[in-house]
Chains A and B, each alone.
Chain A
Amino acid sequence: MKKITECSLAIAETVKNCNPDVIACYPITPSTHVAEKLADFYANGEIREYITVESEHSAMSALVGASAAGGRTFTTTSSQGLLLMHEVLFNASGMRLPIVTFVATRAVGAPLNIWGDHSDAMAQRDAGWIQIYVKNSQDAVDSIVQAYKIAEKTMIPVMVCGDGFFLTHVVEEVDIPDQALIKKYLPPLKMELKLDPEKPISLGVYAMPDDYQYFRQDLDDDILKSIDEITKADEEWKKVTGRSYGLFEAYQVNDAERVVIAMGAQASNGKEAVNHLREKGERVGLLILRVFRPFPYKQISEVLQGKEVLIFDRSISPGAHSPLYSEISNAVSTKSVKKLYSVIGGLGGRDNNVDIYLKLFEMMKSGKVERWIF
């Protein structure tokens, strides 16, 4: 149903329509509205189980248990909350539990900052989860449904990441998929192996040095392969709704000489900058990356052939290349692209508006690119 509503509320309604068995939340800004709305649904008897836990560590732990028992699960968090979940995230992926989480991405302290950037989610990139970064409300709700499809098919947990405030608190028109439509797309969860008192097993058991590496290899192989399932889930979603997102959106990239790569809600501002510069006859383009784990190395390198590329990160890896830049520079060889630049900006809620994107394209044109933009 089409509505004009806040993105967080639309996400909560979509989660409810996915018919989850267990939700466990510990509210933290800016993900709070999702947790609150889900609690509302629970109070109205529209959700079966909602556990009000005492911390994010417990929220994810509760879901590990619920998912291991064969339930469809959901939680939402941000920033320090996601960091508190960190160790449990590895257990969830290691035990191959199809948990879906919405992360309202936010800066990490210190200094204390409640506003948006990608620092929290980027710090979880090695946790063995699939990561999808969404750019608007419609992308967010559709990605939640797709996330269940992908997770339950691959048995790998999925983190849907949306910019805190810049996406979560935005009010815009969004088509919320209803229960009947989701039921058609998403079959009931059936787990081959689960905790069952009739047939007891222990999950996540000890693996000695002889065995451990085989499990890690298996997870690594399966996440690499999951790129096909992600594409398939997206194509099937297109069949029922007419909407699809791909691994990334390449906006005016085909004939572009200069391309900026960014992720998330703020990246859409870059489109406006591209339109503006195209009117002046400049061949510029924008690539908005959606799927960060698994990283689509091959697909990205194909579209960037022979172009000047600037990677615009909203997080840092202090003392090293920023996360998105280091992935892209691994995807393309120095021969296949003309130039490769790295710029960092938009940390802690700093607005990456159209002017910032115009400045980025200007920097590329002059060849004078600085590491930071303000």
Chain B
Amino acid sequence: MKIPYSEPGTSKKNKTNTSSKVPDIDKAKCISCAQCIEHCPDACIKFDSGKKAEADTNYCKGCGICAEICPAKAIKMKDRVIK
């Protein structure tokens, strides 16, 4: 008998990588306003050590809100490259 279930924390193991588009962040243009971080519905964007936006595309759903909201136009949605 196979029961479809999962234990907590499995998303750490199973990276979804489902979207076709992912954000491409131009860190030189980033003004560190954190709007993209606040608006990302999947909490994929964080500051790097230099306080510039950085996306973890493993969980990005490709909605494009970050690119839309960025006041410095530092984010563009580009095709995901499968490694």
Contacts and interface: CB of A to CB of B under 8 A. Distances in A.
B8 A96 contact: no
Q: Is the interface of B mostly helix, strand, loop or mixed?
A: loop
B49 interface: no
A202 B2 contact: no
A270 B41 CA distance: 64
A215 B1 contact: no
Contact of B5 (A205, A214, A218, A222): A205
A96 B1 CA distance: 8
Nearest to A96: B3
A309 interface: no
A155 B1 contact: yes
Interface residues on B, range: under 10
Contacts of B7: 200-202
Contacts of B3: 95-96, 155, 193, 203
Contacts of A222: 1
A205 B14 CA distance: 13
Nearest to A68: B5
B5 A215 contact: no
Contacts of B2: 214-215, 218
Interface string B70-82: 0000000000000
B1 A202 contact: no
Interface string B1-39: 111111110000000000000000000000000000000
B1 A218 contact: yes
Nearest to A94: B4
A154 to B, nearest CB: 8
A88 to B, nearest CB: 15
A206 to B, nearest CB: 8
Interface residues of A, number: 16
A204 interface: yes
A359 to B, nearest CB: 47
A207 interface: yes
A87 to B, nearest CB: 16
Interface string A307-343: 0000000000000000000000000000000000000
A96 B3 CA distance: 7
A203 B4 contact: yes
B1 A205 contact: no
Question: Which of B2, B4, B5 has its CB near the most chain A CB atoms (within 10 A)?
Answer: B4
A177 to B, nearest CB: 28
A205 B8 contact: no
A242 B2 CA distance: 35
Contacts of A207: 4
B4 A200 contact: no
A215 B3 CA distance: 8
Nearest to A222: B1
Contacts of A155: 1, 3
A202 B2 CA distance: 14
A203 B5 CA distance: 4
Interface string A211-229: 0001100100010000000
Contacts of A218: 1-2
Interface in A91-119: 94-96
B4 A201 contact: no
Nearest to A201: B5
A96 B2 CA distance: 8
Interface of B: 1-8
Which 9 interchain pairs have the tightest Cβ spacing? A218-B2, A205-B6, A201-B5, A203-B5, A202-B6, A96-B3, A200-B8, A215-B2, A205-B4
6 contacts: A94-B4, A95-B3, A96-B1, A205-B4, A205-B5, A214-B2
Given A95-B3, A201-B6, 20 more contacts: A94-B4, A96-B1, A155-B1, A193-B5, A200-B8, A201-B7, A201-B8, A202-B5, A202-B6, A203-B4, A204-B5, A205-B4, A205-B5, A205-B6, A214-B2, A215-B2, A215-B4, A218-B1, A218-B2, A222-B1
